[in-house]
């Protein structure tokens, strides 16, 4: 899935607050999928990005050249937009996601890009449903819990 998708997902746990927990990436497969650059679209996605989760994901995947946050006037900064375009839309992780903090909620996910790897993806093979889940306590993104 695209990193943008990973960024917008979260494990919603009832009673915990509206933001839920971000999903930790347990990426076993990473690939880059070229996508046509559309600056308007990228600019509109920037406000939706959850930066902490994005930077952590980028770190996990050992990505370089990832902006640390939105910069002033980003809508017109082509370099920034191109970097974000690459990170959000071109980096794909395979269909494996770790689920969350204290609640071992499974979250199998089907990637829409056919996997060149032997297992899973849309190439007509069986879906790769991750079997191993980390249940490492993870910082929730809910502001309520920051104080605690």
Residues making contact with other proteins (CB under 8 A)? 1-2, 4-5, 8-12, 17-20, 23, 33, 35-36, 38, 40-41, 43-45, 48, 89, 107-114, 122, 124, 127, 141, 143-144, 146-147
**Residue (61 or 129) nearer to other proteins, CB:** 129
Check if the beta carbon of residue 27 is closer than 8 Å to that of residue 94.
yes
Please give the backbone phi and psi of residue 54, each rounded to the nearest 5 degrees, phi first.
Answer: -65, -45
CB of 114 to other proteins, least distance (A): 8
CB of 110 to other proteins, least distance (A): 4
Separation CA 76–CA 65 (nearest Å): 18
**Residue (89 or 101) nearer to other proteins, CB:** 89
Separation CA 137–CA 99 (nearest Å): 10
Check if the beta carbon of residue 39 is closer than 8 Å to that of residue 78.
yes
Please give the backbone phi and psi of residue 144, each rounded to the nearest 5 degrees, phi first.
Answer: -55, -35
**Residue (8 or 63) nearer to other proteins, CB:** 8
**Residue (41 or 133) nearer to other proteins, CB:** 41
Looking at the chain, how many residues does it have? Answer: 148
CB of 95 to other proteins, least distance (A): 8
CB of 96 to other proteins, least distance (A): 12
Residue 23: other Cβ atoms inside 10 A: 22
């Amino acid at each position: 899935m695209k990193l943008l998708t990973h960024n917008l997902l979260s494990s919603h746990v009832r009673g915990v607050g509206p933001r839920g927990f971000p999903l930790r990436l347990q990426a076993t497969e990473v690939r880059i999928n070229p996508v046509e650059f559309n600056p308007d679209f990228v600019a509109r996605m920037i406000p939706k990005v959850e930066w902490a989760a994005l930077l952590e994901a980028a770190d996990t995947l050992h990505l370089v050249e990832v902006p640390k946050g939105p910069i002033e006037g980003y809508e017109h900064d082509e370099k920034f937009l191109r970097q974000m375009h690459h990170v959000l839309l071109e980096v794909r992780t395979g269909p494996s996601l770790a689920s969350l903090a204290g609640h071992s909620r499974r979250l199998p996910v089907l990637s829409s890009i056919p996997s060149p790897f032997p297992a899973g993806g849309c190439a007509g093979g069986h879906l790769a449903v991750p079997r191993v889940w980390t249940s490492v306590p993870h910082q929730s993104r809910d502001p309520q819990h920051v104080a605690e």
